[in-house]
Structure 1
Amino acid sequence: MLKIGGATVNQIPFDWNHNTTNIIDAITEGIRQEVKILCLPELCITGYGCEDLFLSEWLSERAWQELLRIREHCQNITVSVGLPIRMNGITYNGACVISNKIIQGITLKQNLARDGVHYEPRWFNAWQKNETRDIVYGGEPITVGDLMYTIDGVRMGFEICEDAWRKHNRPGYRLYERGVDLILNPSASHYAMGKSLLREDEVVNEGSSKFNCVYVFANLLGNEAGRMIYDGDIIIGQKGKLVAVNKRLSYQPFNVLATEVNFQDPSKTEALISADIKERNEEVTQALSLALFDYVRKSKANGFVLSLSGGADSSICAVMVAEMVKRAVAELGWEKTKTILRLNPQTEHWKAAVGQILTCAYQGTRNSSTDTFEAAHTLALSVGAGFHRWDIDEEVSSYSQKIARAIGRELKWETDDITLQNIQARSRSPIIWMLANVKRAVLLTTSNRSEGDVGYATMDGDTSGSLAPIAGLSKIFILQWLRWAEEALQHEGLNPVNNLQPTAELRPLERQQTDESDLMPYRVLAEIEKHAIQDRKSPVQVFEAMRGDHEPETLKRHLKKFFTLWAANQWKRERLAPAFHLDDINVDPRSWCRFPILSSGFADELAQLNAL
């Protein structure tokens, strides 16, 4: 029997003392648990999100100095630690093996992630399979490349994150030919709904079965650099069966999961019971609340400010901040939570804590309804948030009168519909920003992914903010999540919100404005998005895929609107506040989907659609 394990750490890009402390603490805990082989995540010394700093010389040099500090804490244990290695002006992604304070070698990543949120080929070169090299690095002779190690009689090799997702080029095939017993997979695998199950099945179970070995997967944890969330997944499998899975999305700075493994007789390896939850609503709640917690503490802000309209989007933001507080207290305890969030030392209830962390304002106009005010007020009271109300009609009137004088005519709904809607949204921006400045808080913007698809938002209005926590979620998901949260999380204050029809409330009330009448049914929009953006189909291809479930001419109108608005509004998506990545798809061009600001607008493609 040999005790092996994985460790997850919550890092910050090139925050050397913070990162190294977390790594050393994890190693110390591993030693306390008598772990013999411990896998830490990919690039854990620097953090995965250093971006173009990976191209500098100094970053890798400093990471090496930190590695030497870490080495001194590796007594009676073998540890793999991730860091960038720069040789002859080229950066590689490495996993360094330290055994009993001696560097055994550095395995270099062979497959670089280049799709979706990943841009690794910009910073790193892929290492060639079967190639090794003896170098002098930091004054020490070291072997790097495609390596195998023998530790306590166990033959060990690596697949580093993306290596394991390449079905036909996995290093595991070559390791199997060399008689591998144990594969370590240090990863920086971003969170997305349901992705943990894919890792368990396609990486760990499949890898340990195909390569007839024990497999350890160890992922980064938390909101490291602003957009990506890492769930801290640690998974151990043996010959096609899960042996241990940790509870993900922890608020702790590090976690260690280890178990005794019998390499000769797998039937004697005892499987640990996992407390991890895979249900998507709960999973997203954990991910988003942890991301907010990390964002506010790492940015050193005093909390959050939110324009709370009583609608679905701002309401989910408010509830997630409340869940952030409740979950932090449940895991860390009151004293640690109060210290991290800089709360009043006398605080003893989560609602009182939310009141110090979250300030909301309902910014009404003559077009706002009593229903939305009551929904906003009820929700704010139910979670303990600070709440203000003011009207902006005076500001709207002042702007409108100035323009009317400039152009020599009055503005009317019949001729200036979009202008009169936008000025209301924009008039809300300066004052809510002012409140955020006074509070020294992060201003949350409430744009969702469905609005991002079609530009259904006012730039410098409802898009104002420094963080867009739900911009990676579709409106369909948000609406069902709110209904779930009212029951499952006992947020009864959501009841008025869940009984409202989504509306921007920017036209006069008698015009009965709703989001779906302005756009199309949200379910149709989500289906088009899946085909057009995620699957990258043309308008005609989307029509063929959907026509069996929709009236053809109506579907054509929806498709024309979607593709026209998508193409016209890329400039808006370029200006959205940083967004968390939470689903398989994201329309943030800085993390998932890039599109030209100027284009034909699918003119020929829509003409082909009309001709059908």
Structure 2
Amino acid sequence: MRDGFIKVAAGTPKIRVADCRYNAEQIFTLMREADKQGVKVLCLPELCLTGYTCGDLFLQPTLRRGAEDGLATILEATKNLDMIAAIGLPVWNKYDNKLYNCAAVIQNGHILGLVPKTYLPNYGEFYEQRWFASGAGVDVMIELCGEEVSLCRSLLFACDDLPELVIGVELCEDLWAPEPPSAALARAGATVLLNLSASNELVGKAAYRRSLVSGQSGRLVCGYVYADAGEGESTTDLVFGGHNIIAENGTILAERRFASGLTISEIDVKRLAYERQRMNTYQADRNRESWRICFELDLSDTRLTRPVSPTPFVPQNESDRAERCNEILYMAALGLKKRLEHTGAKTAVVGLSGGLDSTLAVLITAVSMEMLDRPASDIIAVTMPCFGTTDRTKSNAVLLAERLGCTLKTIDIGRAVKVHFEDIGQSMEDHDVTFENGQARERTQVLMDIANQTGGLVIGTGDLSELALGWCTYNGDHMSNYAVNAGIPKTLVRHLVSFISDDKEAEDPQLSGVLADILDTPVSPELLPAIEGKIAQKTEDLVGPYELHDFYLYYAVRWGFPPRKVLRLAEQAFGRAYDRATLLKWLKNFYRRFFSQQFKRSCLADGPKVGSVALSPRGDWRMPSDAVAQLWLEELEDLK
């Protein structure tokens, strides 16, 4: 439960229709198994104590008594389990002489509350209104298993030890209705919704069910645990497949079908609370505090089984990745197309180094020109070799420009930089920051002046990861007229170039080949003299691996996770590739650089946002340039 992770489970016991004693044994056995696996919140199917398919037997007092006795057995057998469980059973209210299809929420041998089903299906294969009354408007205290308990559809179950954990409950058809109770429960504070269901299988129904659950979890910014009836239900007319689903904020975390047992994952309730806090359109309903029932859970570490991708910006699925790459290319190109149209620019000027970022920038620019029905020759690709340029990157830049049909200019800036160094008294032997930045600023000056000459715009090449780390020269490559890569992290830049390389392989093998070689070239600004013709300055040796920094950026900025939690997730994602000391070293470096380099982001060039993380001072990220990183670094110091 630390860091906000709560282990949850959807369980499907193998039952016998109307055999409440047997079903109770199956349920508490499943609860004990869940407890062994560290589950703190367990959702079981609708009417699982009796079976959903009892039909007119629901009207028999004998079955109702059997259900109550079964619940009493479960309470006694699980009174020492540190777990919240929701169990489906029929409950009779003697005050209105009605039967309700209920979820009993229990813990430590006690019933915390009863939530009745609101929407009772009475169409197709369903006849629930024949036996049950709707829970709409019901708010009474009744006696069950020797306890006075609340029967109300608006109950919330709030954890004292983890305030972000608030549980709401709905049953099966409630989710399928136009106004599911879960919406009101979420607005009242529920972060985890449990659905006790008995949804029979039909061809194509599973996909719709899945979309309902994932969609509702995304719309309500919640965790959603859906437990479905399965083996043991009557197959007289229907088949139940036990389709269990666990979702969080629109993402399916775990899923199982056609099997009994437990489906387990972890929901991050702190992440959900952060997202709700961030979204001012998520309006809380503050008038429902009186419906809260508090409970306690022991705070302990939760072993994570949910997937933590080492590349949060890059989809793991190949087809999803291709779709993402294609979408981003066109989004960025559309942004540039609009800017070229608006300014009436005659050319687009790109500094082409033979590296990944400038390659992606010129490829996006080529797409924009195609959208405008303009020739690629309107792109002026400028390669500017200097003291650190290698033959490999220079030749790749030239070949790339030629294959795209750009207008190529090669301008050796070495002489101009030397004159500038003489003017300011900079020794050519002193390879300090002035030596490096002087070259970067000279390149930007050349690009700006060529843009003036040709009536064009300078297209920026720096990416989102470089902006996060401040790995750019202020008023050098930091500046442009339009920065097409500004919203694209380095890990995604690589996949975008690879996507284009694969796409062009049949059409233009030479273009595909040069893109492949660029992908194989170490990331470098090439500002220090080459050593025996090889790149002497490798960026990731200096600032750290970009795959780590992109991971840190995603969780620290997008989700606001504290450093301790970011490190924990990094260990989960990269445990086999990096040891803890290495992860910690580069995480500290990330925070130091992210804070100290904000001044570069405060005066950022325009550029399109294409993903969920952006650092524009006019858009997603507003931060003072003189903010101090001490609190974040101190938290990491305690983790040695």
TM-score by length of 1: 0.49
TM-score by length of 2: 0.47
